[in-house]
Amino acid sequence: MNKQIEKTFEYMRRIDGSEFSPETIKNWYIARAYVLNKLKDVAIGPESNNHLHVVISGDSPLMLSVARQVALSAHYANFDEVSGRNRSVISIVSDNYDIADQLKKEEYLCNLPDYCKHTVFGSSPKNADSYIDIELRIERNRDVVDSNGIIIEMTEDDIHTFLKNTDENLLSIDTRKAVLAGRMYELGTLIDNLPDEDINSIKRYTLALDVFQHILLKRPISSLVDEETWSKDLIKVKNGLSIIFSADCFESRAKGIEQYCNNKKRRKEEAWAEIIEALSLSEHARWVAERLVMGYRPLNKQERIKDERLFGDVKKRYRDQLKKRQNDPTHIDLCSNADLRRINPNDMKYDCFIMLAIPMILKRIDITPTW
């Protein structure tokens, strides 16, 4: 099936409404293509004791864009938010004392460093008990020792080699997976009306998956970008990019499941039943990191107190108002999975559903997992 190539990053704007530079947008495209290529063979299943450890040599704008893309892409189902085990680690090798502040710019990690575990030049870690599955380290030494880490080094020279050896148009994105994944929101009551108990029971999603597979996926693939709305509404842009970043992880999810099937001698049907909860929890962790990178923040104390005092449609309108603010988007779901189950369990159903839909989406565009 032919690719559907679209320009998407050009629609991103800063919180104040100003444009990002053409260099920044180009760096995002290059970093995305490069990082996805570097991570394409990484398989980490939910039973694995390994974690990814990316060592980024240098602090140029391009390399900081690479750090951003790793934070968007490196999410695996063996992360344990209670103990913090198996976070994906990003080490940036630099002797620049200002690098931590640089990373908080909107074009790089934005709000993520304020909430993820991170250390700067060997200092005591901040946010050591963070529920986020990304850990950030600023280090002077590139000789990383990590006994359980799958260490991948990323350098500017390696990026230039990658660019020389690829014929792909890197300054655009194939949006087919994202378009198909986004159709799950058309299911509406088929998901919303499912009970909040046993959210990770596969049987509960049978009807929704049938409609998705036999009706929604049969339709022609349309454009993801809606020029009229994307050019005016930054929240629409961020929501569209969110689906792209989720879909970027589909193949790595599939590799993790394949590893699990091989290690545990399971058939794929058995594997899904056993690991769907781990996959859906991982998808929420991915979404949290992505939202922070894209400029969202959790509710502050005052906002949470107000939210807890509201009910029904009034609560829903308040939450919608917070997350649709152009200049300071705030989302109730930016929390641990444990808290999400308590305050907004309905959204957990979508994390579960999209993980179950991955094989269908990949098959629809002729990317069939080996399992």
**What does the pLDDT average to over 333-353?**
96
Average pLDDT over all residues of the chain: 95
**CB crowding 176-194: b at 16 or more within 10 Å, else e:** bbbbbbbbbeebeebbeeb
Residue 144 has pLDDT above 80, yes or no: no
pLDDT classification of 36: cutoffs 50, 70, 90:
very high
| Model pTM above 0.75 | yes
**Which tops the pLDDT comparison, 271 or 137?**
137
pLDDT classification of 165: cutoffs 50, 70, 90:
very high
Residue 371 has pLDDT above 50, yes or no: no
Is residue 73 helix, strand or coil?
helix
Query: Containing H/E element for 117?
Result: strand 117-120
Residue 370 has pLDDT above 70, yes or no: no
Q: How far is CA 213 from the centre of its chain?
A: 23
**Dist CA 47 CA 260 (whole Å):** 7
**Which tops the pLDDT comparison, 273 or 46?**
46
Q: Per-residue pLDDT tens for 81-131?
A: 999 999 999 999 999 989 999 999 999 999 999 999 999 998 999 999 999
Q: Per-residue pLDDT tens for 227-241?
A: 999 999 999 999 999
Share of the chain above pLDDT 70, in %: 99
Q: In sequence order, what are the beta bridge partners of 151? A: 53
Orientation of helix 61-73 relative to helix 22-38, angle to 10°: 50
Q: Per-residue pLDDT tens for 295-330?
A: 999 999 999 999 999 999 999 999 999 999 989 999
**Which tops the pLDDT comparison, 264 or 25?**
25
Q: Per-residue pLDDT tens for 205-229?
A: 999 999 999 999 999 999 999 999 9
Contact 88, 70 (CB under 8 A): yes
What are the CA-CA distances from residue 223 to residues 28, 162, 214, 230, 249 (Å)? 21, 28, 20, 12, 20
| pLDDT recorded at residue 197 | 87
| pLDDT recorded at residue 169 | 85
**Dist CA 300 CA 330 (whole Å):** 9
Pairing of strands 173-174, 88-93: unpaired
Residue 13 phi/psi, 5-degree rounding, is: -130, 160
Pairing of strands 5-6, 173-174: antiparallel
| pLDDT recorded at residue 369 | 58
Residue 204 has pLDDT above 60, yes or no: yes
| pLDDT recorded at residue 367 | 77
| pLDDT recorded at residue 368 | 64
Contacts (Cβ under 8 Å, ≥6 apart) of 207: 190
